């Protein structure tokens, strides 16, 4: 983030108090901060009491940095907490999901009783396929109810799921299946994208051919498109539908692995972030209830995140279901069937809590106020934001145009690794500044530190660290303890380093300043520069690649790649076809989401005398700012050569 935006942030003086009515009836009051600060583990034990345990825990927390055991000795079943106990409490007829397919008329309403029956059948089916507690199951599905059903069925039998975002490529799938040693893949023929069926199964077929660990592929029929059929393939409707609709689940240890979710790090290989059961569910359930002020009897909640990302895990599936909430689940893109599709969904289902990402908000700003203004959004009462810093301008637009000036906005900072929200206002308590996530939630402790790990005090900027363990914290990186220690716990001894910069302003209000490492944030999704660089270099025409994230009005950051070509490729007449080929190659290696927005063919990359690529400089070039210090640059003429070739770059995804 630039110097000017830093100073602009610290001058933000607007404040928005909680609406009086909401504050008066709020689930959580200011006392929670004091109470949690006095007895952090007591506070979390109280929140764990929101869940149903088959056996109570012996100890709340055993902390052997960097390894935590939360609620040790306790036993529970996550799916029972999300389903059975609500049905037993008489809530079987409550809607769990209003599912909205991408095609206009596609609807499915699923009550808690129905969801329990579906999950029970799927659990029997997994068992029939030989999936056991402790195994890993890969889920590669569009946003259809079976995605949540499959996740809960895994949880029910104690298997860990590894959901892979449907936009990832076969190669990404191979890497994730192989690392997790997954036994089963659950997928579909395809899903709908912008009005047309888009295939999913071919990527699975390609992956399974290279992944001997996979014994079966369970295929949901969604689009009805033709699919190739192999010996390991089974239709979901053939196997699951005839299973018994009741299932007696076993309780598992609080630390039973619940899921792996792969996320980008600063080196090429994605990391399998491991989450477990009791602590995770405690924190997602509590934060979902507290931060959205959820009233499960009356609210209709909609988290727009795909289940392929952590937000979809914690706040589309586990948090809302643990709280017996009614949610909307939407399959499509924001513009499918019209650019006011989201607002028509809010109107139709009377959505009262909306949780989405700044990149979407900025897109809607561009599309104009008329679309949301043409719909009745008066049901909304709380708005949430996640995934990247929300700029004050977008925050104000969200508040005024979507929230009608009456809804508090909760900007929530957290990560795949934290599992649940960490920094956020409480809607009935906090007087919010536009663009700020305000401060740590009750029970959470953060410390902004300087280079040497010293706290910066009440005001000032530095590195964001978490200096106390929290229940939903990652328990490790799958199969790689050393990387877990190195990545998160070695920069500042004994504390978790999140990779983000942060700053306390003059009112001791916290501002998140984005990543300080080589991880880009594209539309709220983390992609590492190295990952894209490796993909580019694996193309036969590329000699060297340097990838940076450049500021982008809509997506937060955009991927800009600088590449040098091999002598053979240089000798040929390159031009547009090669650029297209490179972008397609990245899409094939990682997924369309990682396609560079711009590729610059450069004669050379700017390097320091020690041979390190000067990324800062490339960011400046990509953003066309005045150049920073180039005195350490080995060959300063490289910069002007790159600037000259910027004209030859292609734009657009």
Q: Are 532 and 594 in contact (CB under 8 A)?
A: yes
Measured from the CB atom, is 517 or 604 closer to ligand WTA? 517
Q: Closer to ligand WTA by CB, 190 or 524: give it.
A: 524
User: 503 or 515, CB closer to ligand WTA?
Assistant: 515
Nearer residue to ligand WTA within complex by CB, 77 or 311 = 311
Judged by CB under 6 A, which of 57, 413, 463, 497 binds ligand WTA? Answer: 413
Say if CB 303 and CB 320 are below 8 A apart. yes
DSSP annotation string for 594-623: G--SEEEE-SS--BBTTS-B-HHHHHHHHT
Task: Identify which of 467, 474, 366 has the alpha carbon closest to the alpha carbon of residue 419.
Answer: 474
Burial of 290 (0-12, 13-18, 19+ CB in 10 A): buried
Nearest CB to ligand WTA, comparing residues 123 and 273: 273
Q: How far apart are alpha carbons 345 and 322 in whole angstroms?
A: 24
Determine which helix (DSSP H) or strand (DSSP E) holds 76, and give its type and residue range.
Answer: strand 75-76
Enumerate the H helices of 170-220 as residue ranges: 170-180, 201-208
Site size toward ligand WTA, by CB under 6 A: 23
Binding pattern for the stretch 166-205 against ligand WTA, x by CB under 6 A and - elsewhere:
----------------------------------------
Give the dihedral of Cα atoms 238, 244, 245, 247; nearest 10 deg: -120
- For ligand WTA, which residue of 111, 187, 188, 311 counts as binding (CB under 6 A)? 311
Structure tokens at 465: 């660290």
Residue 259 interacts with ligand WTA (CB under 6 A)? Answer: no
- Which CB, 126 or 532, lies closer to ligand WTA? 532
Shortest separation between residue 263's beta carbon and ligand WTA, angstroms: 5
Query: Rule CB under 6 A: is residue 313 a binding residue for ligand WTA?
Result: no
Tell me if 539 contacts ligand WTA by CB under 6 A. no
Contact between 310 and ligand WTA by CB under 6 A: the answer reads: yes
Q: Does 356 bind ligand WTA (CB under 6 A)?
A: no
Q: Retrieve residue 247's tokens.
A: 């299932």
Return the structure tokens found at 517: 């490492």
Only one of the segments 18-26, 124-132, 237-245, 497-505 lies at the binding site for ligand WTA (rule: CB under 6 A); that segment is 497-505
- Would you say 275 and 258 are in contact if contact means Cβ atoms under 8 Å apart? yes
416-475 residues in contact with ligand WTA (CB under 6 A) are 416, 437
The single residue among 44, 364, 414, 504 that binds ligand WTA, judged by CB under 6 A, is 414
Q: Who contacts 142 (Cβ-Cβ below 8 Å, separation ≥6)?
A: 166, 188, 190, 191, 192, 200, 222, 331
Structure tokens at 549: 């994230």
Q: Which stretch binds ligand WTA (CB under 6 A): 10-18, 275-283, 294-302, 307-315?
A: 307-315
Least distance CB 237 / ligand WTA (angstroms): 33
Which is nearer to ligand WTA, 221 or 269 (by Cβ)? 269
- Count other Cβ atoms within 10 Å, centred on residue 65: 12
Binding status of residue 408 toward ligand WTA by CB under 6 A: no
Residues 100, 163, 281, 512: which binds ligand WTA (CB under 6 A)? 512
Query: Is residue 518 at the binding interface for ligand WTA, with CB under 6 A as the rule?
Result: no
Helix axes 576-589, 170-180, angle to 10 degrees: 30
Within positions 592 to 611, which residues make up the interface with ligand WTA, using CB under 6 A? none
Alpha carbon distance 322, 285 (integer Å): 6
Residue 415 in the binding site for ligand WTA (CB under 6 A):
yes
Interaction of residue 256 with ligand WTA, rule CB under 6 A: no
Binding test (CB under 6 A) with ligand WTA, winner from 411, 447, 505, 620:
411
Half-sphere exposure of 597 (CA within 13 A, CB side): 19
Q: Which stretch binds ligand WTA (CB under 6 A): 108-116, 155-163, 337-345, 412-420?
A: 412-420
> Terminal CA-to-CA distance of the chain, rounded, Å?
24
Binding mask 370-389 for ligand WTA (x = CB under 6 A): ----------------xxxx
Q: Which is nearer to ligand WTA, 124 or 275 (CB)?
A: 275
Q: Could you tell me if 84 and 90 are in contact, meaning their C-beta atoms sit under 8 angstroms apart?
A: no
| Residue 539 DSSP code | S
Tell me: does residue 114 bind ligand WTA (CB under 6 A).
Answer: no
Within 10 A of 644 (CB to CB), how many other CB atoms are there? 11
135 is an interface residue for ligand WTA by CB under 6 A:
no
Dig out the tokens for 114 from the structure.
Answer: 């129905």
Q: Note whether 499 binds ligand WTA by CB under 6 A.
A: yes
Which stretch, 93-101, 181-189, 513-521, 552-560, contacts ligand WTA (CB under 6 A)?
513-521
Cβ-count burial of 466 within 10 angstroms (0-12 exposed, 13-18 middle, 19+ buried)?
buried
Q: Decide if 186 contacts 137 (C-beta within 8 A).
A: yes
Q: Nearest distance from residue 398's CB to ligand WTA, in Å?
A: 13
316 touches ligand WTA (CB under 6 A)? no
- H/E stretch holding 193 reads strand 190-193
**Distance between CA atoms of residues 138 and 171, nearest Å:** 14
In the complex, least distance from residue 407 CB atom to ligand WTA, rounded to whole angstroms: 17
Q: HSE, CB side, 13 Å, CA atoms: give it for residue 448.
A: 22
Based on the shown chain and the rule CB under 6 A, indicate whether residue 526 belongs to the binding site for ligand WTA.
yes
Q: Distance (Å, rounded) from C-alpha 622 to C-alpha 643?
A: 9
- Residue 28 in the binding site for ligand WTA (CB under 6 A): no
Which residue lies nearer to ligand WTA by CB, 167 or 387? 387
Length, in residues, of the chain: 653
Structure tokens at 42: 């007591």
Shortest distance in whole angstroms from residue 308 CB to ligand WTA: 10
Give yes or no for residue 164 binding ligand WTA (CB under 6 A). no
* 515 touches ligand WTA (CB under 6 A): yes
Site string for ligand WTA, 554-583 (x = CB under 6 A): ------------------------------
Cβ of residue 289: shortest distance to ligand WTA, in angstroms? 18
State the nearest-atom distance from the C-beta of 63 to ligand WTA, in Å. 23
382-386 β-sheet, strand order: 107-111, 95-100, 326-330, 300-303, 353-356, 382-386, 409-412
Sole binder of ligand WTA in the list 521, 529, 530, 541 (CB under 6 A): 521
Of 28-36, 325-333, 509-517, 592-600, the segment contacting ligand WTA by CB under 6 A is 509-517
Task: Choose the binding region for ligand WTA from 304-312, 425-433, 532-540, 607-615 (rule: CB under 6 A).
Answer: 304-312
Contact positions toward ligand WTA, by CB under 6 A? 263, 309-311, 386-389, 411-416, 437, 498-500, 512, 514-515, 521, 526
């Amino acid at each position: 983030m630039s110097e000017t935006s830093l100073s602009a942030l610290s001058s933000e003086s607007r404040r928005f108090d909680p609406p009086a009515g909401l504050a008066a009836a709020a689930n959580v009051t200011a006392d929670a901060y004091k109470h949690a600060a006095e007895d952090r583990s007591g506070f979390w034990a109280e929140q764990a009491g929101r869940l149903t345990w088959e056996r109570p825990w012996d100890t709340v927390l055993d902390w052997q940095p960097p390894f935590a055991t939360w609620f040790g000795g306790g036993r529970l079943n996550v799916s029972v907490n999300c389903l059975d106990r609500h049905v037993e409490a008489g809530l079987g007829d409550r809607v769990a999901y209003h599912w909205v397919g991408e095609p206009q008329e596609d609807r499915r309403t699923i009550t808690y009783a129905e969801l329990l029956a579906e999950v029970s059948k799927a659990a029997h089916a997994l068992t029939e396929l030989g999936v056991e507690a402790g195994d890993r199951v890969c889920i590669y599905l569009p946003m259809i109810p079976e995605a949540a059903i499959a996740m809960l069925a895994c949880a029910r039998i104690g298997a860990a799921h590894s959901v892979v975002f449907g936009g990832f490529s076969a190669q990404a799938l191979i890497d994730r299946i192989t690392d997790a040693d997954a036994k089963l893949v659950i997928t579909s023929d395809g899903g709908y994208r912008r009005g047309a069926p888009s295939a999913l199964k071919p990527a699975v077929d390609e992956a399974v051919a290279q992944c001997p660990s996979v014994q079966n592929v369970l295929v949901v029929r969604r689009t009805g498109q033709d699919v190739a059929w192999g010996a390991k393939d089974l239709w979901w409707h053939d196997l699951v539908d005839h299973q018994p609709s009741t299932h007696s689940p076993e309780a598992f240890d609080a630390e039973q692995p619940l899921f792996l979710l792969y996320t980008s790090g600063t080196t090429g290989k994605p990391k399998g972030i491991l989450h477990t059961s009791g602590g995770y569910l405690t924190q997602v359930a509590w934060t979902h209830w507290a931060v959205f002020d959820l009233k499960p009897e009356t609210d209709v909640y909609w988290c727009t995140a795909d289940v392929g990302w952590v937000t979809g895990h914690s706040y589309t599936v586990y948090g809302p279901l643990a709280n017996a909430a009614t949610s909307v689940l939407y399959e499509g893109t924001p513009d499918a069937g019209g650019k006011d599709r989201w607002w028509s969904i809010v109107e139709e289902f009377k959505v009262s809590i909306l949780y989405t990402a700044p990149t979407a908000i900025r897109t809607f700003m561009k599309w104009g106020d008329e679309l949301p203004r043409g719909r009745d959004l008066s049901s909304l009462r709380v708005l949430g934001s996640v995934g990247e810093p929300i700029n004050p301008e977008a925050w104000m637009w969200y508040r005024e145009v979507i929230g009608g000036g009456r809804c508090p906005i909760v900007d929530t900072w957290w990560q795949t690794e934290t599992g649940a929200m960490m920094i956020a206002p409480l809607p009935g308590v906090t007087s919010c500044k536009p663009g700020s996530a305000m401060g740590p939630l009750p029970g959470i402790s953060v410390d902004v530190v300087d280079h040497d790990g010293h706290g910066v005090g009440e005001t000032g900027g530095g590195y964001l660290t978490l200096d106390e363990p929290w229940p939903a914290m990652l328990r490790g990186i799958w199969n790689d303890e050393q990387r877990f220690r190195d990545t998160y716990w070695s920069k500042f001894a004994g504390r978790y380093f999140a990779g983000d910069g942060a700053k306390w302003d003059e009112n001791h209000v916290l501002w998140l300043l984005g990543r300080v490492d080589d991880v880009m944030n594209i539309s709220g999704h983390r992609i590492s520069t190295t990952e894209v660089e490796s993909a580019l270099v694996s193309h036969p025409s590329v000699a060297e690649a340097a990838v940076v994230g450049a500021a982008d009005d809509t997506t937060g950051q955009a991927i800009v790649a600088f590449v040098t070509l091999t002598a053979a490729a240089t000798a040929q007449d390159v031009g547009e076809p090669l650029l297209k080929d490179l972008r397609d190659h990245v899409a094939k290696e990682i997924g369309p989401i990682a396609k560079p927005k711009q590729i610059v063919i450069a004669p050379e990359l700017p390097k320091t005398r020690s041979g390190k690529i000067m990324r800062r400089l490339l960011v400046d070039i990509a953003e066309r700012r005045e150049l920073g210090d180039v005195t350490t640059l080995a060959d300063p003429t490289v910069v002007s050569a790159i600037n000259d070739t910027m004209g030859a770059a292609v734009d657009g995804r």
